[in-house]
Amino acid sequence: STPVTITSNGFVAEGVGTITAKFKVDASVSYTHMQAQFGVIEEVSPTYPWTAREVAAPEPISLSAAGDSVVVTRSFTIDWTPAGDLQVVVFLENTSTALDTVTVSVAQDELPDGVSSTG
């Protein structure tokens, strides 16, 4: 279990997409430097089951006490013809450490063409 819950929804239609994620603190968070990360991945083939296609600019966020929340929206352009299913991966990175790699939580939504979903 992590101290932060991520819920998300979004869409992909006619070469563009948008994902909105809500980051909510369930228990106190001991680190103060965090950033929301968003990436579009595609299921290309059995050999390359998930290939990163787009990475949105990170969003620095501040959360600390239980009940705190923040909403972040990112848009992206699909300037290629998808060969497989697209998904958006959303995670919260702790940038307080020297390694900058601690993931608090991950939400992943399938975003088929023109269909909305909630994670």
- The residue behind tokens 């595609």 is 42
Question: Mean pLDDT throughout 70-86?
Answer: 85
The CA–CA distances, whole Å, from 71 to 45, 61, 79 equal 33, 9, 26
The CA–CA distances, whole Å, from 93 to 12, 31, 39, 77, 86 equal 25, 10, 13, 23, 22
First to last CA, the chain: 17
The CA–CA distances, whole Å, from 9 to 44, 76, 83 equal 22, 14, 22
Per-residue pLDDT reduced to its tens digit, 31-75: 778 899 998 888 888 887 788 888 889 999 988 889 999 999 999
- This model's pTM is above 0.85: no
